[in-house]
Structure 1
Amino acid sequence: MSTTTERRTTSAPPRRTVVDVVVSALRSAPLTIPLILVAAALSFATSRFLTLGNLENVLVAASIIVIPGLAMTLCITMGEFDLSVGSTVALTGVITCTVIADGAHGLVGMLAGLVTGALVGVLNGLVITRFGVTPFIATLATMVIVRGAATALSGGRDVIVNDPTLKYMAAGRPLGIPMPIVLAVLALAVMLWVTYRTRFGRHVAAIGSNRDAAHLSGLPVDRIRLAVYVMIGVAGAIWGILISAQLQKGSGQLGLGFELDAITIVVIGGTSLLGGHAAVMGTVIGALLIETIRNGLNLLNVPPAYQRISVGLLLVAALAIQAIRRKAPVEVLDDKP
């Protein structure tokens, strides 16, 4: 009897305390504490920060950037990245607004923009997979080409529109919720499912962990890589449509530096640049952190240049932390006899 009781006691899982749950949550989303601290500091620095209207502005801004950030999470999990997403924003906006300005319905213009983004993704994917060009060089070249195409198509001028369908993408409120937030929630739900519940997500992580092993295991590595770049292209197109909807214009100058934002929220969120591990919720919190900082700096009348500096510093800090974490296990192993 006592033996049976001892076995049951031994096999019973230990009870998790509230502290254990909190610690586990913080480990899975390490940016939570910095986000809370930044928000608390801004609430003391300016009384306007905690107003409902301002908090909604933060959520809308974070929602717009998190959509391409989620797609970039998959790409970085794969051990690669895309530098052309900012230029995709510009080209998508120009094409969407040009089609609308030529008399087409807003939905047709947005569809043309989405197709454009997908084609940019296909271009990146084919150059990388078929010709063996490294992602850095391939997407850097695409960034220049696509930016030039956007400037050429717009003639170096803003393409101004006043379309209610396009405007609804930025100002619409289905069920009282701003449309960008609705789109971000849908994108998050899809990305959580794809990353953690599908073979595709597991294959992406496997490629990031060891591409040669993934090849030997029979995974369609090139097709998966191509699909990821198409996803980034479409996400960049959505980004471009939302920005153009806010401004009611397309321009070859839109999206400058946006690729840094997309990569930064992924890296500070915990996804390693070496690949193999995705931190989807970390990307979301990274977007909230960056937009909270930007919003606070705007409220405090800090010049935009310093906002870019803050994003760069966050990226450097995240990369430094990742480097320290990678070195720690090696040092432990070296100490073994």
Structure 2
Amino acid sequence: MSAALRKAPLVVPLLLVVLFLALRTDSFLSGGNIENVLVNAAIVAVPGLAMTFCLAMGEFDLSVGSTVSLAAVVCCSAIIDGVPVLLAMLLALLAGALIGLVNGMVVTKLGVTPFIATLATLVIVRGLALAYTDGHDQIVSSPALKYLVGGRPLGVPMPILLAVLATALAWWSINRTRFGRWVCAVGSNREAARVSGLPVDRIRIAIYVLVGTAGGFWGLLIASQLQKGNGQLGLGFELDAITVVVLGGTALLGGRASVLGTVLAAVLIETIRNGLNLLNTPPAYQRISVGLLLIAALALLGLRRRVTAGPATVPAAVKEAVV
């Protein structure tokens, strides 16, 4: 039991929150409400899993929220112009991948720090989305696009099914593939990984492309929910993506990833948001709760580092990656 809790420490706080809300509200444990929580958690978890790779690499991407906006705008505008829905969705994903590629190239080839590079991209991409729409909503009525969130294959809501598939793929990639070991090795000690012969720049670029594509997919999910795209979508979404990863136990400085932790953190955050709604709490406090959770997670990570700090050695992740 203790070993399981160490691997998934958010299980206990999640159960406590569920118990509290079950006692304080009459509708929290209703089937429809639980499904709503899981669907919203799944929508956050999918891009959060991509961000897990980025933080495991020792970096992060602040442009995800703007990527959501641009992807939604590209998809909805294309549908309005008569482009087939599947092609419009592909264009949105390509837009996200292109943003990720630009981030990766700026970081690796120009040597700009990820914070500055992705902060600049955040501003630029948001401006592009606003300019492209001239500040107007791109409203669509597309059953095919709506299916991305509203579909129920095998009776399971589509976002939950997608999140399960993404979780399985992310876990396998991190724990069972050479690429996953490489990512953690780069996050553990980039220079040691480079000296060991790992293609560090290509790994970093690939992860930024992954995060950008996931941001594009997030934009598709939001466009599917709202049936529209505009330049204001995705504001603050980068905070959500980073929070679920850090809260889930992935090392902020790199070298370690927790796929299950990211998913549980997404469920915890959406459970808290849902509970605040049921308790008629003003929306502003939902953002405050996410910020407080991020601070708490960072404080716990700092405490864990101080407790477990030992003499400097060659990182185990680097040793494993070159085997």
Deviates more, 1:321-330 or 1:99-108: 321-330
TM-score by length of 2: 0.95
Q: 1:191 aligns with which of 170, 185, 208?
A: 170
Aligned to 1:109: 88
Distance across 1 between alignment mates of 2:172 and 2:306: 32
Aligned to 2:319: none
Q: How many residues align?
A: 312
Q: Deviations over 1:294-329 (max 9, x none)?
A: 000011111110000000000000000111111123
Deviation at 1:41, TM superposition (A): 0.2
Aligned to 2:112: 133
Paired residue secondary structure (2:180): helix
Amino acid at match of 1:49: F
Amino acid at match of 2:246: V
Q: Deviations over 1:112-139 (max 9, x none)?
A: 1000010001000000010000000000
- For the pair 1:238 / 2:217, whether they are aligned, the reply is yes
- For the pair 1:267 / 2:246, whether they are aligned, the reply is yes
Q: 2:192 aligns with which of 213, 217, 239?
A: 213
Aligned to 1:93: 72
Paired residue secondary structure (2:26): coil
Aligned to 2:132: 153
Q: What RMSD in Å do the two structures reach over aligned CA positions? A: 1.2
Amino acid at match of 1:186: L
Change (3 A) 1:45 1:332: farther
Deviation at 1:332, TM superposition (A): 10
Aligned to 1:77: 56
Q: Deviations over 1:236-272 (max 9, x none)?
A: 1111000000000001000000000000000010011
Deviation at 1:146, TM superposition (A): 0.4
Amino acid at match of 2:306: K
Deviation at 1:330, TM superposition (A): 4.3
Paired residue secondary structure (1:238): helix
Distance across 2 between alignment mates of 1:88 and 1:141: 12
Amino acid at match of 1:234: T
Paired residue secondary structure (1:57): helix
Aligned to 1:258: 237
Deviation at 1:28, TM superposition (A): 0.2
Q: Deviations over 1:155-198 (max 9, x none)?
A: 10110000111011111111111111111111111101111110
Change (3 A) 1:214 1:330: closer
Aligned to 1:16: none
- For the pair 1:297 / 2:276, whether they are aligned, the reply is yes
- For the pair 1:119 / 2:136, whether they are aligned, the reply is no
Q: 1:318 aligns with which of 297, 314, 318?
A: 297
Amino acid at match of 1:193: W
Paired residue secondary structure (1:48): coil
Aligned to 2:306: 327
Aligned to 2:205: 226
Aligned to 1:176: 155
TM-score by length of 1: 0.91
Aligned to 1:30: 9
Distance across 1 between alignment mates of 2:258 and 2:88: 33
Of structures 1 and 2, the larger Rg is shown by: 1
